[in-house]
Amino acid sequence: MSQAMLVRQYIKDAMGQPVAIILPIEEYALVRPILEEQGRELRDKLHEMELAAQDPLFLADLRESMNAFEIADAEWWEHTT
């Protein structure tokens, strides 16, 4: 019985750019902890953003910053008629 050799398989978009990869299980086992940590970090950041959207001090600071740059923003943006 012959054993099949598994290699990396690249998934490409319509332009031929790689967008994903299928790894042999041994290689996946090496990168899995990194991928899981990135997922946890993303979930934590999203949770912090959800909390900030309800934080009165953050929202007050955001409004103050927006007001401080209101004149400069109006001068920079191209106006459409």
The pLDDT of residue 2 is above 90: no
- Domains of the chain: which residue ranges? 9-75
Q: pLDDT per residue over 28-66, tens digit each?
A: 999 999 999 999 999 999 999 999 999 999 999 999 999
24 closest CA partner among 39, 52, 4, 42:
4
| The model's pTM | 0.55
Start-to-end Cα distance in the chain: 75
Answer whether 8's CB lies under 8 Å from 27's CB: yes
Query: Does position 8 have pLDDT exceeding 90, yes or no?
Result: no
